[in-house]
Amino acid sequence: MKHKNIAIFVPHAGCPHRCAFCDQHTITGHPAPPAPDEVEAVCREAVASFSADERAAAEIAFFGGSFTALPRGYMTALLEAAAPYAAQCRGIRLSTRPDTVDTSVLETLRRYSVTAVELGAQSMDDAVLAANDRGHTAADVSRASALIRAAGMELGLQIMPGLYTADAASDRRTVEAVCAIGPDTVRIYPTVILKGTRLAALHASGAYVPRPFDEMVTETAAAMETFRARGIRVIKVGLHASDGVSAEAVGGYYHPAFRELCESRLYRARIEAVITADGTHPARTWTVRVHPRCISKAVGQKRANVRYFQDTYGIGIRICGDEAVPPFQVHVGGNACF
């Protein structure tokens, strides 16, 4: 059964900092924090619409802000509104800042059926965190992660490659540091420059020049591969596609299908490794078998992978579905597709 989120957005509320990149109103599409009765209504309607199996797979999710930095009375009021419905689902997950997590707040969260906490780490490089006005350190991420684990909750980390002053090496170190912590899940949000943010001003002045878009696709694909190899689930890549983000983005790495771009790059790398393994590629046409659900990713948007092999190696590739091939694996040979 596919996982479902009952998403409730709490933009900016409680956040003690305004990070250089942040505009939660645009990112979430919600201009104001919800009242407890709104939370109750959203949960009631969603749970009523689910089948029993869907409820068992669903989580109530508080996103967009710093949930554990909310005024305690407001925070508990939101949790009280959601808790009766969380008891019918998998529980509640929420996102927050690492410097607003302690044993006291985690005890409160557990009382209200919170089962998963995601931390906005963004980077594990203190210089990058400071340059982007995060107001916390990498050590705060490690400390909060350990507390969440000790409380018996699922741990998620969110990272943001491509920030101001970050380079590819810094972002790779962040990926390795996250792997060392060993969260259950990761979200990767390559930096998007939004109007009205400090990052937009730095970009306009020329002080912040993002790395090329195609490089970020390659780097993010590599990060996904690293997390997958370590058994860490990548549950989101790229900002949620919305008219608001599309209209307000002035640079960076926004694309409505960023994850698919990265997954296509992974398929390209797998195919390329096979056809170049012996230093030659004698066949003029190669057959690539992938899981049927992954054909479009292997082909690439606008047939990008097919064109890549033609332009780079002068060879053609035929991509066809094969149920026997697991997702993200390829079988490559010289035979035609049948």
Q: What is the pLDDT of residue 338?
A: 33
Q: Does residue 42 register a pLDDT over 60? A: yes
Q: Does residue 334 register a pLDDT over 60? A: no
Best CA proximity match to 65, nearest among 22, 35, 101, 108: 22
Q: Does residue 180 register a pLDDT over 70? A: yes
Q: Does residue 27 register a pLDDT over 70? A: no
Q: Does residue 29 register a pLDDT over 60? A: no
CATH architecture of 276-333: 3-Layer(aba) Sandwich (3.40)
CATH number of 4-256: 3.20.20.70
Number of neighbours of residue 36 by Cβ within 10 angstroms: 15
Q: What is the pLDDT of residue 292?
A: 95
Find the mean pLDDT for residues 173-187. 98
Q: What is the pLDDT of residue 92?
A: 97
Q: What is the pLDDT of residue 24?
A: 56
Q: Is the dihedral of CA 218, 223, 9, 14 positive or negative?
A: negative
d(CA 322, CA 291): 5
Q: What is the pLDDT of residue 336?
A: 42
Q: What is the pLDDT of residue 1?
A: 56
Say which residue, 199 or 240, is predicted with more confidence. Answer: 199
Q: What is the pLDDT of residue 284?
A: 81
Q: Does residue 335 register a pLDDT over 50? A: no
Q: Does residue 282 register a pLDDT over 80? A: no
d(CA 296, CA 291): 10
d(CA 91, CA 82): 9
Residue range 215-230, pLDDT digits in tens: 999 999 999 999 999 9
Length of the chain: 338
Say which residue, 64 or 147, is predicted with more confidence. Answer: 147
- Helix 72-86 crosses helix 36-49 at what angle (to 10 degrees)? 20
Q: What percent of the chain has pLDDT over 90?
A: 78
d(CA 123, CA 118): 14
Q: How confident is the model at residue 285 (pLDDT cuts 50, 70, 90)?
A: confident
Find the mean pLDDT for residues 25-52. 83
d(CA 36, CA 27): 22
Most confident of 46-55, 150-159, 267-276, 310-319: 150-159
Q: Does residue 337 register a pLDDT over 50? A: no
Q: Which of 16-25, 153-162, 210-219, 291-300 has the lowest mean pLDDT?
A: 16-25
Q: Does residue 77 register a pLDDT over 60? A: yes
Q: Does residue 12 register a pLDDT over 70? A: no
Q: Does residue 172 register a pLDDT over 50? A: yes
Q: E strand or H helix at 120, and its extent?
A: strand 114-122
Q: What is the pLDDT of residue 243?
A: 60
Find the mean pLDDT for residues 257-264. 96
CATH 3.40.1260.20 residue spans of the chain: 276-333
Q: Does residue 32 register a pLDDT over 80? A: no
Find the mean pLDDT for residues 123-131. 98
Residue range 308-330, pLDDT digits in tens: 999 999 889 999 999 999 988 99
Q: What is the pLDDT of residue 14?
A: 64
User: Which residue is it, tokens 């780079």?
Assistant: 312
CATH 3.20.20.70 residue spans of the chain: 4-256
Q: What is the pLDDT of residue 30?
A: 52
pTM of the model: 0.91
Question: Any residues with CB less than 8 A from the CB of 220 and at least 6 apart, and which?
Answer: 161, 188, 190, 237, 258, 262
The overall average pLDDT reported for the chain is 91
Find the mean pLDDT for residues 204-210. 97
